[in-house]
A = this chain, B = another copy of it.
Amino acid sequence: MSIVLDTQGGDNPPAELIRGGLLAADEYGIDIIFAGDEAVIQPNLPANDSRFSILHAPEVIAMEDTPAETVRRKKNSSVVQGIKAVRQGRAKAFVSPANTGAVMAASLFGLGRIKGIERPGIAMALPTTTGGKVVGIDMGANTDSSAENLFQFAIMGRVYAHRVLGVEDPKIALVNIGSELHKGNELVKQARAYLETLPGFVGNIEPNRLFHGEVDVAVCDGFIGNVLLKAAEGGVAITTSVLRKTLTERFLYKLGAMLMRPALRQFRDAMSLSNFGGAPLLGVRGISIITHGNSNAEGIKHAIRVAKDAIDCDLLERIESRVQEHITDGVFEKTK
């Protein structure tokens, strides 16, 4: 099994990202194709190791580049060439820390859409306080989604929760600002009618209840999903900041904090984004995994793990056949 790792476009230097690829190869027994500048990648690889190869594609897509236009123009970028390797069957998946919009555009152009899906969505498995996961979809691929888009996100998110996370009968909820039916903006009010036709739909979920393990799939527009994700990150940051400040105020607290240092480190790691990085773009015809721009080697390793899991459980084929079932059932027609 070969996976393409994009070594460019993240906040960290290629060497750090490559290290993540090497770790993943050892831990998961897979081959890695490193996409990027050969001259930069070569010195970071062990000599004569047949598990590793280089896809020379030195053009870099910057964070501030306009996605669609850049993808058309930068044909020799690691993003475009990496996706091409997946399309041509030279690799089973593409993993990238680059500009989300660019990875999305390259995936759409290069791999095409699953029949029946209008827009792909980013699915992210977020940690819950009960030790499980909740799949948020869409976490930032699209802004200004339609109710039909949300309906399709729900179908794909449910397959992901079932097949990849192993949830037997996943519960789907709609992200909303209240549990009551009359709450929400026009989009969620429309989407709700569609979602009610799906098995497993349980109603609205408020963002503060998202992390309590009550639901398995949370559906929303990508603008909302991205705000939600970043605000939760902000909540984690302000808590740790206040905690750090409080704990250094008195000698006794400092002593206590010293005794607990390993626990606090463990806590920090559990909270670290790198531990839940790696989000598949669902709806395109191939496995394309987006990781946080600031991913370090551990984050990259985890994202490759997400890619491997998706491949192992035939995620793409499962989504295709589930969507096909819905088309056959006429559910898509009903939502028109």
Contact = CB atoms under 8 A, between A and B. Distances in A.
A271 interface: yes
Interface in A241-298: 241-243, 246-247, 249-250, 252-253, 255-260, 262-264, 266-267, 270-271
The 8 A-B residue pairs with the shortest CB-CB distance, nearest first, are A235-B235, A256-B259, A143-B185, A256-B260, A231-B231, A232-B235, A207-B231, A207-B230
A151 interface: no
A193 interface: no
Interface stretch (A20-28, A41-49, A51-59, A175-183): A175-183
A260 B224 CA distance: 38
Given A234-B235, A246-B266, A260-B252, A207 B227 contact: yes
A169 interface: no
Contacts of A224: 223-224, 227
Contact of A185 (B144, B184, B231): B144
B267 A260 contact: no
Number of copies: 2
A239 interface: yes
Given A63-B180, A127-B238, A140-B177, A233 B208 contact: yes
Interface of A: 63-64, 66, 127-129, 140, 143-144, 175, 177, 180, 182, 184-186, 206-212, 221, 223-224, 226-243, 246-247, 249-250, 252-253, 255-260, 262-264, 266-267, 270-271
Nearest to A265: B246
Contact of A253 (B236, B238, B260): B260
Contacts of A258: 256
Contacts of A235: 211, 231-239
Contacts of A177: 140, 143, 223, 226-227, 230
Q: DSSP majority for the A interface?
A: helix
Nearest to A139: B177
A242 B275 CA distance: 14
A216 B209 CA distance: 28
Nearest to A210: B234
Contacts of A255: 256, 259
Given A209-B234, A232-B238, 16 more contacts: A63-B180, A129-B242, A140-B177, A185-B223, A207-B230, A207-B231, A208-B237, A224-B224, A229-B231, A243-B243, A243-B267, A253-B259, A253-B262, A255-B256, A255-B259, A256-B257
A263 B250 contact: yes
A63 B242 CA distance: 33
14 contacts: A140-B177, A175-B227, A177-B227, A207-B231, A208-B237, A227-B228, A227-B231, A228-B228, A228-B231, A232-B234, A232-B235, A233-B235, A246-B270, A256-B258
A208 B180 contact: no
A263 B249 contact: yes
A264 B255 CA distance: 14
Nearest to A142: B185
